[in-house]
Amino acid sequence: MRTAPLPPPRTPGRYAVGVVCLGNICRSPMGEVVLRERVDEAGLARHVRVASCGTGGWHVGESMDHRSASALLASGYDPSGHRGQQLDDSWFAEFDLLLAMDSSNLADLGGRSERVHLFRDHDPVHVGADVADPYYGGERGFTEALETCERVAACVVASLQRLPGVRGRA
């Protein structure tokens, strides 16, 4: 199966990607940090905004789960800037693409639509799979989630570079 094409930008030359999970402390902050890093490396930071939120509001304002932060730090990423946010209607209006970490998050977003995909609709290794919630599990779930985030981020950035008006480094 092929990875999904990106929906078109609402504003030419600009693009906003929102990563969504349940609590916004484990998976979606990891996806946000990794995707932003790849966007920066590709020279796309002026064009592309990356953010994350949770469908639940329990962790609004909190920093990320220490296990996600440790996995990111061990691979050279900076997890320190994260503060939890909750999904509201503005995310549907402002973001060109919302990426749900699992099928339950996708259902909470109203299901797949042009601008709502599963995060792993952009994972060439297993298109359309869930990023399993690592919250109640061991460290392995966090390192697996990070590997998935790195594959998806590379795929999304390659797709962003093909959008008209979005210019980065060649």
**Minimum distance from residue 100 beta carbon to ligand 4NP (Å):** 10
Active-site residue, from 65, 102, 123, 133:
133
Question: Residue 117, interface with ligand 4NP (CB under 6 A)?
Answer: no
Q: Residue 99: CA atoms inside 13 Å, Cβ hemisphere, count?
A: 33
Residue 21 appears among annotated catalytic residues: yes
| Cα separations in angstroms, 43 against 5, 13, 47, 107, 149 | 21, 13, 9, 34, 19
Q: Helix count (H) and strand count (E) of the chain?
A: 5, 4
102 counts as catalytic = no
What residue type is 113 in one-letter code? S
Q: Is 110 in the site for ligand 4NP (CB under 6 A)?
A: no
Interaction residues for ligand 4NP, span 47-76 (CB under 6 A): 54, 58
Strands of the sheet with 15-21, listed across from one edge: 48-54, 15-21, 97-100, 116-118
The amino acid that residue 68 corresponds to is S
Query: Is 135 an interacting residue with respect to ligand 4NP (CB under 6 A)?
Result: yes
Please say if 27 is a catalytic residue: yes
- Segment near ligand 4NP (CB under 6 A); pick from 23-31, 72-80, 87-95, 152-160: 23-31
Q: Is 99 in the site for ligand 4NP (CB under 6 A)?
A: no
- Residue indicated by tokens 């209006």: 93
Report the interface residues with ligand 4NP, using CB under 6 A: 21-27, 54, 58, 133, 135
User: Which residue numbers are catalytic?
Assistant: 21, 27, 133
